[in-house]
Amino acid sequence: MRDALTRCTRAGLVLLALLVVTVVSCDRVMGTKIAKIAADPRSYDGQEVTVTGTVTERIDIPSVRCYVLSDGEGSIGVVTKGNLPVPGAKVKARGRVQQSFAIGARKLLVIIEAPKSRPTPPRNRVAPGGGPH
């Protein structure tokens, strides 16, 4: 009986550990709630986050390209070097939080989007001896 109880306790601890790991990694995979960032921007300032939401606004001025994302509970600006998504589009953005970012007369809590990585083009291989054979 005692051996069965020990096995159940071990299985329960393993299950609990898996649950904790899942919850912690879920924030990285699923993203951070925009409202959570907006509620405490100081603790997220400079941190890399991933957010998902619906585009509500585009800001395209000569020096800055930005769109505003909302997850229904909060909004955040996303500064990008890429194409601006259309309003209404569902978007996932990853970048560094910047607490106060001026765009014209507006100050926004924003994410500075990390540049998208581009595949490295293959290099031409040269045969030994300096030329193709």
Q: Is the Cα torsion angle 76, 67, 25, 47 positive or negative in sign? A: negative
Instruction: Convert the pLDDT of each residue in 32-60 to its tens digit.
Output: 999 999 999 999 999 999 999 999 999 88
Domains of the chain by residue range = 1-30, 31-113
Q: How far apart are the first and last CA of the chain?
A: 76
CB 99 within 8 A of CB 113: no
Tokens of 9: 């306790």
pLDDT at 21 over 90: no
pLDDT at 14 over 70: no
Tokens of 103: 């765009």
> What pLDDT was estimated at residue 36?
95
CATH domain 31-113 topology: OB fold (Dihydrolipoamide Acetyltransferase, E2P) (2.40.50)
CB 35 within 8 A of CB 73: yes
CB 91 within 8 A of CB 55: yes
pLDDT at 61 over 90: no
Instruction: Convert the pLDDT of each residue in 22-31 to its tens digit.
Output: 444 444 456 8
> What pLDDT was estimated at residue 64?
83
CB 50 within 8 A of CB 28: yes
pLDDT at 116 over 80: no
Classify strands 106-113 and 64-70 as parallel, antiparallel or unpaired.
unpaired
